[in-house]
Amino acid sequence: MLRHITDKKINRMNHKYHQFESAIEKYQTVSWYKHIQTVLSWVVICAQVLSLIVLIQTYTTPSFVGFIATLICAYLATDFINGLVHMFMDNNTHYTSCFGPLIADFHLHHHKLNYQEKHPIKIYFTESGYKVWLVFYLLILIFLQQTHFLPSNLELGLVAFGILSSFAELSHYWCHQPTTNHGMIRFLQKYRLLLSLEHHRLHHVHDNTHYAFLNGVSNPLLNIIARKYFKGYKNHSDQYVRAYFKQRNVFQT
Residue 71 pLDDT: 95
**CA 136 to the chain's CA centroid:** 15
Residue 7 pLDDT: 56
Q: Cβ(51)–Cβ(124) under 8 Å?
A: no
* pTM score, whole prediction: 0.88
Residue 84 pLDDT: 96
The C-alpha atoms of residue 223 and residue 218 are separated, in whole angstroms, by 9
- Nearest to residue 104, comparing CAs of 211, 251, 213, 241? 241
Name the residue type at position 236: H
Residue 122 pLDDT: 92
Q: Helix 132-147 crosses helix 31-58 at what angle (to 10 degrees)?
A: 30
- Nearest to residue 17, comparing CAs of 207, 230, 238? 238
Name the residue type at position 156: L
The C-alpha atoms of residue 134 and residue 132 are separated, in whole angstroms, by 5
The C-alpha atoms of residue 117 and residue 227 are separated, in whole angstroms, by 34
Residue 8 pLDDT: 66
Q: What is the largest CA-CA distance in the chain?
A: 69
Spans of the chain below 70 pLDDT? 1-10, 113-114, 178-181, 249-253
Residue 30, CA distances (Å) to 77, 122, 125, 170, 240 in order: 36, 22, 21, 27, 21
pLDDT tens-digit profile of 191-241?
A: 889 998 888 889 988 999 999 989 999 999 999 999 999 988 888 888 888
Phi, psi of 193, deg, nearest 5: -85, -25
Residue 251 pLDDT: 45
Residue 253 pLDDT: 39
pLDDT tens-digit profile of 75-86?
A: 999 999 999 999
